[in-house]
């Protein structure tokens, strides 16, 4: 039997850092996705990038209308909130940290400040980056993994799959991606991982489509990770509570329709 720690999520905290970074490269990787590579003197060589921590995220601090970037002061490992206006901050998955720099993939949309910034980002532009504050390291002791994601969670799925091919990777992975188009996002093609694309328009019907696509894939000894629009995940969350032990799944509402800057760290009222 695997050790208990191989079956449960563990948390690793990092010293809090704020930095101003420069756009080194921009690439459109899907109909609604733009990849931005960031770097510069303030990007430290020991930037936290842990194995099996696919949901690591940073807060991006959106520049003002003139392109100016304000990053907060960090004192005693805490953000110091002065009298001025705190910059607009949004959570984004760290897709990669390698010889290119810090890689962040943005969903392009007009109703979000960070998405609008990414839509016009050019080499040489600046962006504030805060964190990551901590990492959830996902267990490696399961024989099967089921990952469920909408468009916003696909970068994290990409990190899961990156780890799958390494010596510290996972055994078998099924991905259920509920998206608007099959070319939504480029996921790594790795042995032992199967991606099921479920085409569903945005709206209330997605919750049923998601639950239906997942229901028969929940194995008793599997670990399930799911992320996306919080209300559409509720039927799945209820299903997982009925089928699995609590340590066997992690469901994260990344966003909620009609809510600006949802705090996804808050517990769901059903959890």
Tens of pLDDT, residue by residue over 242-265, are 999 999 999 998 867 545 444 444
In this prediction, residue 119 has a pLDDT band, given cuts at 50, 70 and 90, of very high
Identify whether residues 148 and 129 lie together within a single domain. Answer: no
Identify the three-state secondary structure at position 22: strand
The whole-number pLDDT of residue 83 equals 67
Which candidate, 105, 128, 108, places its Cα nearest to that of 119?
108
* Residue after which a domain boundary falls, among 98, 115, 134: 134
The whole-number pLDDT of residue 84 equals 67
Which candidate, 134, 181, 186, places its Cα nearest to that of 157?
186
Q: Does residue 4 belong to any structural domain of this protein? A: no
Q: Does residue 247 belong to any structural domain of this protein? A: yes
Share of the chain above pLDDT 70, in %: 90
Identify whether residues 123 and 102 lie together within a single domain. Answer: yes
This prediction has a pTM of 0.91
What pairs with residue 157 in β-bridges?
none
The whole-number average pLDDT for the span 203-229 is: 91
Q: E-strand spans in the chain? A: 10-13, 18-30, 33-39, 57-61, 73-75, 78-80, 89-93, 96-98, 101-107, 126-130, 134-137, 145-149, 173-179, 193-199, 223-229, 249-255
Phi, psi of 118 (to 5 degrees): -60, -35
Q: Does residue 195 belong to any structural domain of this protein? A: yes
Q: What is the pLDDT of residues 61-93, one digit of tens each?
A: 999 888 899 999 999 999 987 766 678 899 999
**Which of 38-42, 80-84, 157-161, 176-180 comes out lowest in average pLDDT?**
80-84
If one counts every other C-beta atom within 10 angstroms of the C-beta of residue 139, the result is 21
Identify whether residues 128 and 150 lie together within a single domain. Answer: no
Identify whether residues 22 and 115 lie together within a single domain. Answer: yes
Contact 70, 128 (CB under 8 A): yes
Listing from the earlier edge strand, what are the strands of the sheet with 193-199?
A: 193-199, 173-179, 145-149, 223-229, 249-255
CA distance 249 to 8: 9
Is a pLDDT exceeding 80 seen at residue 9?
A: yes
> Which residues does 19 contact at the CB level (< 8 Å), separation at least 6?
40, 42, 43, 44, 71, 128, 129, 130
């Amino acid at each position: 039997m695997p050790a208990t720690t191989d079956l449960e999520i563990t948390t690793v905290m990092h010293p809090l850092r704020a930095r101003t970074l420069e756009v080194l490269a921009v690439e459109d990787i899907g109909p609604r996705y733009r990849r931005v590579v960031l770097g510069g003197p303030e990007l430290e060589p020991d930037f936290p990038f842990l194995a099996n921590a696919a949901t690591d995220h940073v807060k991006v601090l959106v520049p003002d209308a003139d392109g100016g970037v304000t990053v907060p002061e960090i004192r005693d490992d805490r953000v110091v909130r002065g009298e001025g206006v705190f910059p607009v901050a949004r959570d984004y998955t760290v897709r990669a940290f390698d010889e290119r720099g810090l890689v962040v993939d943005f969903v392009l949309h007009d109703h979000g400040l960070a998405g609008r910034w990414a839509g016009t980002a050019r080499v040489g532009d600046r962006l504030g980056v805060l964190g990551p504050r901590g990492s959830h390291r996902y267990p490696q002791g399961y024989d099967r993994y089921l990952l469920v994601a909408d468009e916003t969670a696909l970068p994290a799925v990409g990190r899961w799959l990156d780890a799958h091919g390494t010596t510290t990777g996972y055994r078998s992975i099924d991905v259920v991606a509920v998206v608007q188009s099959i070319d939504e996002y480029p996921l790594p093609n790795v042995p032992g991982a199967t991606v099921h694309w479920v085409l569903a328009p945005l709206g209330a019907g997605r919750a049923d489509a998601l639950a239906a696509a997942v229901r028969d894939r929940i194995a008793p000894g599997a670990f399930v990770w799911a992320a996306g629009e919080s209300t559409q995940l509720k039927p799945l969350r209820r299903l997982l509570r009925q089928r699995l032990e609590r340590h066997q799944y992690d469901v994260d509402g990344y966003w909620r329709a009609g809510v600006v800057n949802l705090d996804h760290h808050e517990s769901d009222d059903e959890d």
